[in-house]
Structure 1
Amino acid sequence: MNDGPVVLPEPDAGETGPYTHLGFATARPGSEDKVEELILALVAPLRAEEGAIEFHVHRDRADRRQFVIYEMFRSKTALEKHIAQPYTQEFIRAIRPHVEGPLRQQFLRMCSALPGTE
């Protein structure tokens, strides 16, 4: 979700767990509510995607301009399909004028077992 194409790191050899993404955004002063509105609009369609496991939106308690998106997918392929969705591409375009700097990303490998899979 930065200004260029998203390049997802490959899963580790033998990895069977979910593919997790964290997105970070800093709202421009005065755009905090708009950023929250745009991110929250992703909740229903993303959670309806076949490969989605979890999607949560967080706002920093100390700095209300800071947002964190937590999303977990069944696989890298599922996340790639999500990124290609028209509504995801529209979100990236729509949020751009309301945030400072690039939308930062972090991709995580789950080390603990996913509940229900132990």
Structure 2
Amino acid sequence: MSDARPVLPEPDADETGPYTHLGFCRARPGHEDEVERLVLGLVEPLRAEEGSVEFHVHRDRADRAEFVIYEVFRSKRDLEEHLAQPYVGEFVHAIGPLVEGPLRQRFLRMSSALPAGE
């Protein structure tokens, strides 16, 4: 994984919803549980960030080495502020040797409305 922060696509002019990011990584053989532990270590501090709406860690049922991270922020700026947090850099540095290749990413535009109160 690279230490470089991703370039975030600009929201569309008519967008009013949150900014969603999906991250995908594949653990190197024998490091699956260590990768899971590191990714789960993000849950508490990330969910405590003011701009965080949702954060979930998933593991593929058929391929236990494959992880998917789902995170929703109020805005692109909130995600940028998250990526600048020291603990995020520490995570990227720690997980790099444990995964195959760079983190694969997708940035999504939310089409459905968030439930009331979100």
Pick the TM interval, shorter chain.
Answer: over 0.9
TM-score (norm: length of structure 1): 0.95
Give the whole-Å Cα distance in 2 for the aligned partners of 1:111 and 1:60: 24
| AA partner of residue 88 (structure 1) | V
Aligned-partner Cα distance in 2 for 1:112–1:41: 29
Mapped to 1, the partners of 2:71 and 2:45 lie a distance apart of 13
Quote the Cα distance in structure 2 between the aligned partners of 1:92 and 1:107: 18
Letter in 2 for 1:56: H
Report the residue type matching 1:40 in the other structure: L
| Residues 1:51 and 2:87 are matched in the alignment | no
Matching residue of 2:9: 9
Corresponding pairs, count: 116
What is the RMSD of the two structures over their aligned residues, measured on CA atoms?
A: 1.0
CA displacement at 1:5 relative to structure 2: 2.9
TM-score normalised by length of structure 2: 0.95
Name stretches of at least 5 consecutive residues in structure 1 with no aligned partner: none
Larger displacement relative to structure 2 (3-12 or 95-104): 3-12
State percent identity of aligned pairs: 72
Secondary structure at 2:106 match in 1: strand
Alpha-carbon displacement from aligned partner over 1:12-40 (angstroms, at most 9, x marks no partner): 00211000000000000000000000000
2:85 is matched with 85
- Matched residue, 1:28: 28
- Shift in Å at residue 103 of structure 1? 0.5
- Paired residue secondary structure (2:36): helix
Measured after TM superposition, the shift of residue 63 of structure 1 is 0.3
CA distance in 2: counterparts of 1:15 and 1:103, whole angstroms: 26
Q: Tell me the alpha carbon deviations over residues 47-69 of structure 1, each in whole angstroms, 9 at most, x when there is no partner.
A: 00000000000000000000000
How many Å apart are 1:107 and its aligned residue? 0.3
Partner amino acid for 2:92?
I
Q: Which has the higher strand share?
A: 1
How big is the shift at 1:6? 1.0
